């Protein structure tokens, strides 16, 4: 891999080895469609190159308006969206996409302040990646989020769970909490399902990041944010959670409603 000075936050990467040297996900026929949205033509070209070298099919949009048209026409398995764009910005694009589909969305932005990250994830993004990023790291994140999506969508064995507060159906991707149907993002659903499956024990932070996000794809901050988001959707009182408990400095545990502490 050669590092070349260019416009993508000072550097871009060109891949000299074959695509299979840094991805093992199969041939082009098995690849889902990925949409990339950025109004910088250099970044759009670079991300398209990386994804195509990894044998993904790519549709590219240079504006929010074009992104929504392509999203409707192509039904991409993953959309990668920049935030700062002329005209319709990335926040608006993500909000509109979420009205049409629950397919995963990744934000790729140079903005990395906490308010921006929280706003993007709250609107419906499943991952937030900060520029600049190397091709291997970028493709690894793409693979991880698509792998989780496929796991949630294509599970062969139904996983039904119910207690006094929560019902969960893994095959149908449905959750009911306190009598109300709850809409969860793919990562939220995967996190909740993993905690419920292992409700007989505490699940460590590292295990959750490894098994729900995939190795090196998540972070302690993203785990903390997703747990907070889940609590807002399934807990009656988020200030005093009863279902997802934090075992300080160790991990989390799901406690069935009939076992929750008074």
Over residues 204-216, the mean pLDDT reads 78
pLDDT in tens, 69-81: 999 888 899 999 9
State how far Cα 173 lies from the chain centre. 16
pLDDT of residue 30: 56
CATH entry, 2-153, from 3.40.50.2000, 3.40.50.2300, 3.40.50.10860, 3.40.50.970: 3.40.50.2300
Average predicted confidence (pLDDT) for the chain: 82
Asked if the bond preceding 132 is cis, omega within 30° of 0, the reply is yes
- The H-or-E segment that residue 168 falls in is strand 166-169
Quick check: 233 pLDDT over 70?
A: yes
- Better-scored residue on pLDDT, 154 or 120: 120
Nearest to 224 by CA among 183, 252, 197, 203: 252
CATH entry, 156-259, from 1.10.10.10, 3.40.50.620, 1.10.1060.10, 3.40.640.10: 1.10.10.10
Residue spans in the chain of domains classed CATH 1.10.10.10: 156-259
pLDDT in tens, 169-189: 876 778 999 999 998 887 888
Query: How many Cβ atoms sit within 10 Å of the Cβ of residue 40?
Result: 15
Quick check: 93 pLDDT over 80?
A: yes
- Better-scored residue on pLDDT, 88 or 102: 88
The sign of the torsion formed by the CA atoms of 225, 227, 233, 237 equals: negative
pLDDT of residue 153: 59
pLDDT of residue 37: 97
| Euclidean distance between CA atoms 228 and 92, whole angstroms | 23
| Euclidean distance between CA atoms 86 and 62, whole angstroms | 9
Sequence-distant (≥ 6) Cβ neighbours of residue 23 within 8 angstroms:
54, 55, 139, 143
| Euclidean distance between CA atoms 204 and 225, whole angstroms | 16
Quick check: 17 pLDDT over 70?
A: no
Over residues 90-114, the mean pLDDT reads 89
* Weakest-pLDDT range from 28-37, 87-96, 161-170, 249-258: 28-37
């Amino acid at each position: 891999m050669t590092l070349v000075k260019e416009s993508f936050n000072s550097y871009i990467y060109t891949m000299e080895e074959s695509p299979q040297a840094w991805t093992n996900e199969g041939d082009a026929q098995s690849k889902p469609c990925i949409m990339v949205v950025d109004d910088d033509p250099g970044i759009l070209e670079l991300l398209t190159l990386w994804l195509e070298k990894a044998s993904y099919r790519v549709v590219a949009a240079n504006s929010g308006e074009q992104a929504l048209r392509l999203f409707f026409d192509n039904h991409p398995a993953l959309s990668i969206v920049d935030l700062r764009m002329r005209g319709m910005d990335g926040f608006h694009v993500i909000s509109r996409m979420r009205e049409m589909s629950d397919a995963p969305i990744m934000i790729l932005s140079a903005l990395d302040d906490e308010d921006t990250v929280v706003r993007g994830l709250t609107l419906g993004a499943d991952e937030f990646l900060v520029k600049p990023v190397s091709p291997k790291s970028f493709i690894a994140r793409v693979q991880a989020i698509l792998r989780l999506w496929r796991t949630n969508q294509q599970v062969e064995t139904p996983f039904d769970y119910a207690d006094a507060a929560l019902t969960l159906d893994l095959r149908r991707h449905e959750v009911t909490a306190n009598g109300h149907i709850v809409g969860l993002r793919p990562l939220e659903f995967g996190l909740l399902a993993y905690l419920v499956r292992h409700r007989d024990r505490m699940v460590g932070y590292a295990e959750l990041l490894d098994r729900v996000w995939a190795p090196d794809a998540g972070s302690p901050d993203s785990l903390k944010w997703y747990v907070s988001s889940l609590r807002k959707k399934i807990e009656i009182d988020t200030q005093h959670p009863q279902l997802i408990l934090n075992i300080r400095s160790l991990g989390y545990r799901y406690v069935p409603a009939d076992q929750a502490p008074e």
